């Protein structure tokens, strides 16, 4: 079945460091791909998405490119801030049925230190 | 972000209690979802409603009973829960369930502890 694998955390970085959080997926067909972010004490918020191969989603300095050949959707940011500390979830849309379902990875905790 | 609200934010209950979680969306969406978020595990989809009709029940035990009286409100009735049911319960909504690029918008969750 469809699944998402993302790197184990926590990821600890200093402010202004470069961030990469790896995400790979297994899916039949052509899913849409998402990154959601969960700040402490809050629900999930959509960070960015890509709907087809080679699309690049971007928001708030974060980017991810839909790579069909490597079945990946890695999240990157050139210079992280303390305020980026959160849990990041990679997800794909499950197209195996009529219902729009999201399949999530386990989440990666990012801790940015001043 | 007040698009999707959930009450209560925290709930402690005994195994013999009956309680309900409430979710309300102010986005004009037609689909609503319940997820369970446990530590160290991926988010688990529990139920999906589209235009008030249940379209997905992901093998959820009958001690969890959802109710969707209209497209804006979703409830999760809890009865005879187990300690392993302790988790963060998240509600989400989307325009409907037919659009595979539709974004799901999440509420802040209810932190449930079963004693």
Question: What is the average pLDDT score of chain B?
Answer: 91
Does the distance separating the beta carbons of B108 and A43 come in below 8 Å?
A: yes
pLDDT band with cut points at 50, 70 and 90 for residue B42? confident
3-state secondary structure chain A: CCEEEECCCCEEEECCCCEEECEEEECCCCCCEEEEEECCCCCEEEEEEECCCCCEEEECCEEEECECCCCECCEEECCCCHHHCEEEEEEEEECCCCCCEEEECCCEEEEEEC
Is the model's pLDDT at B67 over the cut of 60? yes
Put simply, whether A29 touches B (Cβ < 8 Å) is: no
Is the model's pLDDT at B1 over the cut of 60? no
φ, ψ of residue B53 in degrees (nearest 5):
-100, 135
Taking contacts as CB-CB distances below 8 angstroms, the residues of chain A near B107 are 43
Does the distance separating the beta carbons of A44 and B90 come in below 8 Å?
A: yes
Does the distance separating the beta carbons of B106 and A43 come in below 8 Å?
A: yes
Does the distance separating the beta carbons of B101 and A32 come in below 8 Å?
A: yes
Q: Which of A88, A108, A2, A6 is nearest to A46 (CA)?
A: A88
pLDDT at A98: 64
- Chains A, B: CB contacts under 8 A, how many? 64
Put simply, whether A89 touches B (Cβ < 8 Å) is: yes
pLDDT at A5: 95
Section B62-79 average pLDDT: 96
**pLDDT by 10-residue block (mean), chain A, 114 residues:** 89 97 91 93 92 95 96 97 96 76 91 96
């Amino acid at each position: 079945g469809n699944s998402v694998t993302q790197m184990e955390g926590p990821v600890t970085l200093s402010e202004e460091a470069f961030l990469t959080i790896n995400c790979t997926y297994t899916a039949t067909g052509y899913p849409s791909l998402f990154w959601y972010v969960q700040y402490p004490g809050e629900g999930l918020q959509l960070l960015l998405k890509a709907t087809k191969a080679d699309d690049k989603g971007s928001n708030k300095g974060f980017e991810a490119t839909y790579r069909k050949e490597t079945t990946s959707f890695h999240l990157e940011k050139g210079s992280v801030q303390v305020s980026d500390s959160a849990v990041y979830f990679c997800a794909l849309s499950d197209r195996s049925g009529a219902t729009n379902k999201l399949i999530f990875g386990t989440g990666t905790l990012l801790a940015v230190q001043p | 972000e007040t698009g999707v609200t959930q009450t209560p934010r925290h709930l402690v209950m005994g195994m013999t209690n009956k309680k309900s979680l409430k979710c309300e969306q102010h986005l004009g969406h037609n689909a609503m979802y319940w997820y369970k978020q446990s530590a160290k595990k991926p988010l688990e989809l529990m139920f999906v409603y589209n235009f008030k009709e249940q379209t997905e029940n992901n093998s959820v035990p009958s001690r969890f009973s959802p109710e969707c009286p209209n497209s804006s409100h979703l409830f999760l009735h809890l009865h005879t829960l187990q300690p392993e049911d302790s988790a963060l319960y998240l509600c989400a909504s989307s325009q409907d369930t037919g659009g595979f690029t539709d974004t799901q918008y999440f509420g802040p969750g209810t932190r449930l502890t079963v004693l």
